[in-house]
Every structure is written in structure tokens, then in C-alpha cells.
Amino acid sequence: MSVYLPGERRFVVINKITILSLFLLILAGGIVRSTGSGMGCPDWPKCFDQYVPPTDESQLPQGYEQKYIDNRAKKNERFAKTLDLFGFGKLADELRNDKSVLQHEEFNAAKTWTEYINRLVGAITGLFLLLCAVFSLAFLKSKKRIFYFSVLNLFVVLLQAWLGSIVVSTNLLAWVITVHMLLALVILGISIYTYFQAKVLRDSSLLINRGNRSAKLLALVVLLLIVVQVTLGTTVREEIDVIASSTSDRAQWIGQLSNYFNYHRDIAIGVLALCLVMFFLVRTRYAHRSIQSKIVNLVVILVILQLATGFVLSYLGVPAYAQTVHLMLASLLFGAQYYLMLLLGKTSEYIGQ
């Protein structure tokens, strides 16, 4: 039975809400991507220089098109200089010479509000992460790493917010979106880690775990493959965006993809096979009602659902709803697999604390 101090309990509750909010934010981002609403707001953090965006073209600022293009050009040059500074000169030159990043997109109220809602969810999630950092002070004596990682997550969120502005200024430049997605998983991973550390400190149902090295190693391999899958998936999505700009016939999109799609598909099958092995190892080591068994059950279900949505995308013309569901399942799978990996480590060290 869990016995938390009042401050610790507040942290656990708000951290759980934060994790749910992060999943909701990833879902909102997936909807933005699948509906092509990423440039619904041509500026950041406001939308058309307003806190509440317009609903009609008559409400747009006078001469906003050139104003935002000029502002984006300046921001992109600063970003290019940053890339130069860190040794990414090739990417910087590509950014400077890519005229498409400054193309103007016509106003669309639905896309504007889709992107605006995504930003609102992001702002609320950022507030929850700030509260996590504040409430983590309760662990300064019992488990300092919870505080340190909670504060670290705030800095990662600030980096993510800055990168979000770059996504807008570069007109949804493909590799920037990929980094933006991977950084979202980093934030999610840190939140799950601090939640786990807080839970295992007081939860007697987890303290009996002595760990399983082979199962944890396998869980780590699966987790790394999931991250590779997310990266490949965003690459495939980038290719689809390019193909979609030349043909609206969705049935032809899959056939025009590069080998990245084949790698993405084949690794997915490998992940399923490894998850089944992991399922066998966990279910033979832990009681069927244990949290480890419940999470491994969830992981297998998520992998199967992920493959199912992949099948829908491949053979039913890449429907937009399936793209969103596919991304959401990927983030849920990452979270569940990471938590499982943590659960398979030794937690007996916390007994008596």
C-alpha cells in the first residue's frame, strides 16, 4: 500500500495529469499534421498577432502576409547561424537556399483554430510541467533525482517551445518536425521517469521486485527500436507530404515511397516478434496480476493495434484519421514500453526508505 507524505502525493497526482496531458498534446499535434494545419497560424506564439485568432478573413491584420514572411526570414537566418555554430553548415545552407520555407499559405479558419487549440494544449501542459518542478521540492531529502529531473524537464520544454517557433518560421521544414517529435518523447520519458521514481519510493507492491536482467535488456532493445520506428515514421510522413503536393490520389502515395517505408514496415514486424518473447519472459517471471504483467499485456496490445493501423494506411489509401491514430499509438507504445523497462529493474534498493 502506498503511504505518501502530503507534498509527495501532490507531485504524484500532478505528474500523472502531466503525462496524460503530454499524450493529449501529441494527439493534438497528430491532428494538426494529418489535417495540414501546421501553418494555420503564421506567427508564434500569438496567432495572426492575436491571443484569440480570427474566424474570418476580414479580421486579418492589414498586410500581414509580407510582415510575417519578413519576420520568418529573419528568424530563419538566426537559426541558420545557430546551425553553423554547432557544425551543421550543410543544413544551414539548405535552409538559406530553400525558398519554399517562406511561401505564404492562404487563410483557413478551420486550420487556424486547429493549430491554435494545439498551442493551447501545449501551454496547459507546460503549466503542469512547471507545477511538477515546484511540487518535486518535496523529494529533496528523500529522492533528489526527482527534483533534478523535473527541473531539467522545464529546460527541455523551453527548448521544445523554441523549436516549435522554428517549425513555424521554416514553414514545416521536414527534419525540424522530426526533431520536434523526438524531443516530445524526451519530455514524456522524463515525466514517466520521475513518476516511476516517486511511485517506487513508497509503493510496497513494487518494492518486492528484484529485477530481471534479460527481460530488462530485451525491453531496452524494444524501446530503442520503437524510437527508430518513430523516426522512420516521421520520415515516411515527410515523403508523403511531398508526394501529396503533386497528386491528390491517395491510392498512389504508398507506391511512390522510398525504402524507408519498407524498413518501417519490416522493423514493425520485428518489434512484434520481440514483444511476444518479452511477454513470455515477463509472464513466467511475475504474477499475472502484477503491474509488470499488466504493462506487458498493454504493450503487446498496442503493438498489434499499431500494425493494424499501419495496414489501414498501406492498403486503404492513407486516410487522415489513421495517420493520427498511428502516431498516437506510437507515443502510447513508447510510454508503456519505457515504463515497463523501468519496472523490470531492481527496486528492492528502496526498501526501508
The predicted structure's pLDDT at residue 333: 96
Q: 308: which 3 cell numbers?
A: 493494424
Q: 298: which 3 cell numbers?
A: 498493454
pLDDT at 147 exceeding the cut of 60: yes
The predicted structure's pLDDT at residue 75: 83
The predicted structure's pLDDT at residue 152: 96
The predicted structure's pLDDT at residue 3: 67
Q: Which of 43-47, 79-83, 126-130, 213-217 has the highest mean pLDDT?
A: 126-130
Q: pLDDT (tens digit, 9 = 90+) per residue, 117-144?
A: 999 999 999 999 999 999 999 999 889 9
C-alpha separations of 245 from 52, 73, 94, 132, 294 in Å: 30, 23, 20, 42, 43
Q: pLDDT-based confidence at 332, cuts 50/70/90?
A: very high
Nearest to 268 by CA among 229, 240, 305, 302: 229
The predicted structure's pLDDT at residue 39: 78
Q: Which domains does the chain have, with CATH numbers?
A: 1-202 (no CATH), 206-353 (1.20.120)
C-alpha separations of 43 from 116, 169, 205 in Å: 11, 7, 49
Compute the average pLDDT of residues 30-50: 82
Nearest to 115 by CA among 61, 168, 58: 168
The predicted structure's pLDDT at residue 211: 65
The predicted structure's pLDDT at residue 205: 66
- Cα Rg, the chain, nearest whole Å: 22
pLDDT at 295 exceeding the cut of 90: yes
Q: pLDDT-based confidence at 97, cuts 50/70/90?
A: confident
The predicted structure's pLDDT at residue 253: 84
The predicted structure's pLDDT at residue 351: 43
For the chain, first and last CA: distance in Å?
A: 14
Residues 94/133, Cβ–Cβ less than 8 Å:
no
CA atoms within 13 A on the CB side of 144: 1
The predicted structure's pLDDT at residue 272: 95
Q: pLDDT-based confidence at 220, cuts 50/70/90?
A: very high
What are the two backbone dihedrals, phi and then psi, of residue 47, each rounded to the nearest 5 degrees?
Answer: -125, 110
**Distance in angstroms (rounded) separating the CA atoms of residues 352 and 5:** 15
Q: Which residue has the cell 529573419?
A: 74
pLDDT at 297 exceeding the cut of 60: yes
Residues 43/49, Cβ–Cβ less than 8 Å:
yes
Going 263 to 184 to 150 to 169, the CA torsion angle's sign is positive
pLDDT at 308 exceeding the cut of 50: yes
Nearest to 264 by CA among 297, 301, 227, 296: 227
CA atoms within 13 A on the CB side of 66: 2
The predicted structure's pLDDT at residue 353: 41
The residues near 76 (Cβ < 8 Å, ≥ 6 apart) are 95, 96, 101, 102, 169, 170
Q: pLDDT-based confidence at 329, cuts 50/70/90?
A: very high
Q: 321: which 3 cell numbers?
A: 484519421
Q: pLDDT (tens digit, 9 = 90+) per residue, 246-266?
A: 777 787 888 888 898 999 999
- Characterize 205-231 residue by residue with b for buried, 16 or more Cβ atoms within 10 angstroms of its Cβ, and e for exposed: ebbebeebeebbebbeebbebbbebbb
